[in-house]
């Protein structure tokens, strides 16, 4: 049974994506005999040059190159891949090639490079994901080094990602400022972490983007889909990579050619236990995952709470969390509170739980940390204290903070009440401060739900899972949790829980894939 609203949204999104994937990127009179305009040819040459230069003596990743070139030649592109496959590198090189090809001749006095970057929008579903996107793009641009003109590098380095809501001009009670009647001015819109984007938000976003603008969607389709209705990224990648759902049909060639899947991992070493485990989970290989967990991996630790021999490892995981909390609180208090250090430390160790309540849940781990801080006289009995990590749980347009944004409480020295606290949020354009008394839809976040962790990364992730038979245990849930870890991973769960999760895939009802495969069904 379909709600009329979702039926209408699916039809709209499918029609829009099909139109964008089939639209010509240049006017017919601008094309050469091979259908490519001189400007596209110039951008293509720049992209190839940058990839070759960046590879040095190494080998160019052909999948990344093909994805970047698709961005040059197509108005709609999806770049899909797991952690470390170079999605951001691909996007950055595509942008660098495109902007470099627009660079004016030396001494011309033109500022077309600046004009080009002003027409580029970067966006992500949450504030944290937007900050990460900005940081990753800047790092990728820096990695291109002297292969990139200094002026182009400077302009691209100043690009800042925003939340999708901010990009669209969301305001309470009035919807979005940008819509079909008042579209976004940008020529290129790139959206990261698209697996988190609901069908409704995707429809609003596409409606606000001009039909002739480029749309690049980036993400990992094996992560959890949006909590709200829709699995937009999974549906598009599924049919684009040959995983069609409708018997006797195939996706239009334009959709299939718009989807680019990256498979080669570059970020972590080949011996990374985290990557090996994530791949086993993605493939549904429970036996392989357990074998990795039982093996000797420097970056992966398994704590089976029912195994007495694992007690020491569980105590160590708890101590790691307590030590990180102590560093945050210490940095966040006193006259010389170190805001940057506090924001950095809240990302060092994080517990990700499948549940809110119970002995494995978020509340249990938060209480564990706060009891410890109280025993060390680092907090009192008030909800507020220096170093308290705070997550926004509902969009707050008035204060400019949104669901999923994470900040840290800093103590001001001039007052001695709860209103002496400020909450600082990390922003690419400069950290943002909101008085604690102005925030009400928030939660303490020493631990967080796996759903809420999407779009974030942490140095050390502790995954806490309930015993079976819990229906919340799914392959996508465990994969999402594991891929949040950058350096170290600790899984606190029984073998039965891990196996149950890997063997259960999320089955989400969606008609978007069918509408993309078979346009006549629209």
Contact 92, 137 (CB under 8 A): yes
**Would you call 369 helix, strand, or coil by DSSP?**
helix
- Exposure string of 364-376, with b = 16+ CB inside 10 Å and e = fewer, is bbbebbbebbeee
Q: Which of 195, 232, 190, 192 shows the shortest CA–CA distance to 213?
A: 190
Contact 214, 187 (CB under 8 A): yes
Q: For the chain, how long is the longest CA-to-CA vector?
A: 76
Strands 175-176 and 188-191 turn out to be unpaired
pTM here?
0.86
Give domain 4-23+43-102+117-266's CATH number out of 3.40.50.970, 3.40.50.300, 3.40.50.10800, 3.90.226.10. 3.40.50.300
Q: What does the pLDDT average to over 247-272?
A: 73
Please tell me the predicted confidence (pLDDT) of residue 261.
Answer: 94
So where are the chain's domains? 4-23+43-102+117-266, 273-503
Strands 76-81 and 214-219 turn out to be parallel
The two structure tokens encoding residue 278: 């994530």
- For the domain made up of 273-503, the CATH class stated in words is alpha beta
Contact 226, 196 (CB under 8 A): yes
Phi first, then psi: what are they for 360, rounded to 5°?
A: -110, 5
Please tell me the predicted confidence (pLDDT) of residue 311.
Answer: 94
Please tell me the predicted confidence (pLDDT) of residue 114.
Answer: 62
**Would you call 55 helix, strand, or coil by DSSP?**
helix
Tell me which of 109 and 263 has the higher pLDDT: 263
Tell me which of 2 and 36 has the higher pLDDT: 36
Tell me which of 444 and 516 has the higher pLDDT: 444
Distance of CA 187 to the CA centre of its chain: 22
- Residues in a beta bridge with 409: 423
> For residue 433, what pLDDT band results from cuts at 50, 70 and 90?
very high
Indicate the Cα dihedral angle 494, 496, 502, 508, nearest 10°: -110
Mean pLDDT check: name the lowest of 63-67, 232-236, 372-376. 232-236
DSSP label at residue 466: P
Q: With 50 as the cut, is the pLDDT of residue 254 above it?
A: yes
Distances (CA, A) of 444 to 127, 295, 401, 417: 17, 35, 16, 19
Question: What number of other Cβ atoms are within 10 A of residue 450's Cβ?
Answer: 27
Condensed to tens digits (0 to 9), the pLDDT of residues 478-503 reads: 999 999 999 999 999 999 999 999 99
The two structure tokens encoding residue 364: 């249990």
Distance of CA 48 to the CA centre of its chain: 27
| C-alpha to C-alpha distance for 221 and 231, rounded to whole angstroms | 9
Angle between helices 127-143 and 87-101 (to 10 degrees): 60
Identical fold at 4-23+43-102+117-266 and 273-503? yes
Q: CA angle 141-146-149, nearest 5°?
A: 75
Contact 221, 480 (CB under 8 A): no
Contact 378, 385 (CB under 8 A): yes
Mean pLDDT check: name the lowest of 84-98, 145-159, 223-237. 223-237
Q: Judging by beta carbons within 10 Å of its beta carbon (0-12, 13-18, 19+), is residue 363 exposed, middle or buried?
A: middle
| C-alpha to C-alpha distance for 459 and 101, rounded to whole angstroms | 38
Q: With 90 as the cut, is the pLDDT of residue 79 above it?
A: yes
Name residues whose C-beta falls within 8 Å of residue 122's C-beta, 6 or more positions apart in sequence.
Answer: 130, 133, 134, 137, 159, 160, 161, 162, 190, 192
**Would you call 349 helix, strand, or coil by DSSP?**
strand
How does the average pLDDT of the chain come out, rounded?
A: 86
> For residue 249, what pLDDT band results from cuts at 50, 70 and 90?
very low
Q: Judging by beta carbons within 10 Å of its beta carbon (0-12, 13-18, 19+), is residue 262 exposed, middle or buried?
A: buried
Angle between helices 150-157 and 87-101 (to 10 degrees): 130
Q: With 50 as the cut, is the pLDDT of residue 244 above it?
A: no
Q: With 70 as the cut, is the pLDDT of residue 507 above it?
A: no
Q: What does the pLDDT average to over 6-10?
A: 84
| C-alpha to C-alpha distance for 377 and 393, rounded to whole angstroms | 28
Please tell me the predicted confidence (pLDDT) of residue 240.
Answer: 64
Q: What is the DSSP string of 66-118?
A: HHHHHHHH-SEEEEEE-TTS-HHHHHHHHHHHHHHHTPPPTTS---HHHHHHH
Q: With 60 as the cut, is the pLDDT of residue 465 above it?
A: yes
Distance of CA 515 to the CA centre of its chain: 26
Q: What does the pLDDT average to over 24-36?
A: 55
Q: Which of 69, 74, 76 shows the shortest CA–CA distance to 43?
A: 69
Q: What does the pLDDT average to over 389-417?
A: 82
Condensed to tens digits (0 to 9), the pLDDT of residues 292-321 reads: 999 988 999 999 999 999 999 999 999 999
Give the count of alpha carbons within 13 A of 399, CB side only. Answer: 23
Condensed to tens digits (0 to 9), the pLDDT of residues 80-139 reads: 998 888 999 999 999 999 998 876 555 545 555 566 677 999 999 887 788 889 989 999
Please tell me the predicted confidence (pLDDT) of residue 5.
Answer: 82
Question: What number of other Cβ atoms are within 10 A of residue 174's Cβ?
Answer: 9
**Would you call 478 helix, strand, or coil by DSSP?**
helix
Which of 97-106, 355-364, 394-403 shows the highest mean pLDDT? Answer: 355-364
Please tell me the predicted confidence (pLDDT) of residue 250.
Answer: 47
The two structure tokens encoding residue 58: 């190494």
First-to-last alpha carbon distance for the chain, in angstroms, is 17
Please tell me the predicted confidence (pLDDT) of residue 25.
Answer: 59
> For residue 246, what pLDDT band results from cuts at 50, 70 and 90?
very low
Condensed to tens digits (0 to 9), the pLDDT of residues 153-200 reads: 999 999 999 889 999 998 877 789 999 999 999 999 999 999 989 899
Distance of CA 213 to the CA centre of its chain: 22
| C-alpha to C-alpha distance for 88 and 102, rounded to whole angstroms | 21
């Amino acid at each position: 049974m379909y709600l009329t609203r979702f039926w209408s949204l699916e039809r709209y999104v499918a029609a829009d994506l099909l139109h964008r994937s089939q639209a010509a990127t240049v006017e017919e009179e601008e094309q050469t005999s091979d259908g490519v305009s001189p400007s596209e040819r110039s951008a293509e040459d720049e992209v190839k040059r940058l990839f070759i230069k960046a590879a040095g003596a190494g080998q160019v990743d052909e999948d990344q190159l093909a994805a970047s070139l698709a961005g040059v030649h197509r108005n709609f592109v999806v770049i899909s891949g797991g952690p470390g496959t170079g999605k951001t590198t691909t996007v950055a090189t595509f942008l660098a090639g495109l902007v470099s090809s627009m660079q004016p001749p030396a001494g011309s006095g033109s500022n077309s490079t600046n004009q080009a970057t002003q027409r580029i929008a970067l966006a992500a579903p949450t504030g944290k994901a937007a900050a990460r996107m900005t940081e990753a793009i800047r790092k990728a641009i820096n990695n291109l080094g002297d292969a990139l003109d200094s002026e182009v590098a400077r302009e691209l380095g100043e690009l800042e990602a925003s939340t999708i809501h901010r990009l669209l001009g969301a305001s309470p009670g009035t919807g979005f400022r940008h819509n079909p009647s008042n579209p976004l001015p940008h020529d290129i819109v790139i959206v990261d972490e698209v697996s988190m984007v609901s069908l409704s938000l995707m429809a609003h976003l596409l409606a606000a983007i001009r039909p002739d603008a480029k749309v690049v969607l980036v993400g990992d389709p094996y992560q959890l889909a949006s909590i709200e209705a829709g699995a937009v990224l999974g549906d598009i990648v599924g049919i684009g990579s040959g995983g069609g759902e409708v018997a006797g049909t195939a996706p239009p060639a334009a959709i299939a050619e718009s989807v680019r899947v990256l498979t080669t991992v570059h970020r972590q070493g080949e011996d990374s236990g985290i990557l090996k485990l994530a791949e086993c989970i993605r493939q549904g290989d429970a036996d392989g995952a357990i074998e990795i967990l039982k093996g000797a991996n420097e970056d992966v630790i398994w704590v089976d709470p029912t195994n007495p021999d694992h007690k020491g490892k569980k105590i160590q995981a708890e101590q790691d969390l307590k030590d990180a909390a102590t560093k945050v609180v210490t940095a966040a208090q006193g006259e010389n509170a170190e805001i940057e250090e506090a924001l950095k430390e809240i990302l060092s160790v994080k517990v990700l739980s499948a549940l809110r309540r119970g002995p494995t849940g978020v509340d249990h781990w938060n209480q564990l940390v706060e009891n410890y801080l109280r025993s060390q006289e680092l907090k009192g009995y008030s909800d507020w204290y220096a170093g308290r990590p705070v997550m926004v749980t509902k969009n707050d347009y008035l204060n400019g903070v949104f669901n999923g944004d994470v900040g840290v409480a800093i103590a001001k020295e001039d007052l001695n009440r709860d209103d002496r606290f400020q909450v600082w949020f990390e922003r690419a354009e400069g950290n943002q401060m909101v008085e604690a008394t102005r925030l009400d839809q928030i939660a303490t976040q020493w631990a967080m739900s796996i759903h809420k962790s999407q779009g974030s990364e942490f140095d050390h992730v502790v995954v806490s899972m309930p015993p079976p038979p819990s229906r919340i245990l799914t392959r996508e849930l465990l994969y999402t949790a594991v891929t949040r870890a950058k350096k170290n991973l600790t899984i606190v769960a029984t073998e039965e829980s891990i196996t149950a999760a890997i063997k259960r895939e999320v089955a989400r009802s969606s008609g978007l894939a069918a509408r993309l495969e078979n346009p006549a069904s629209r």
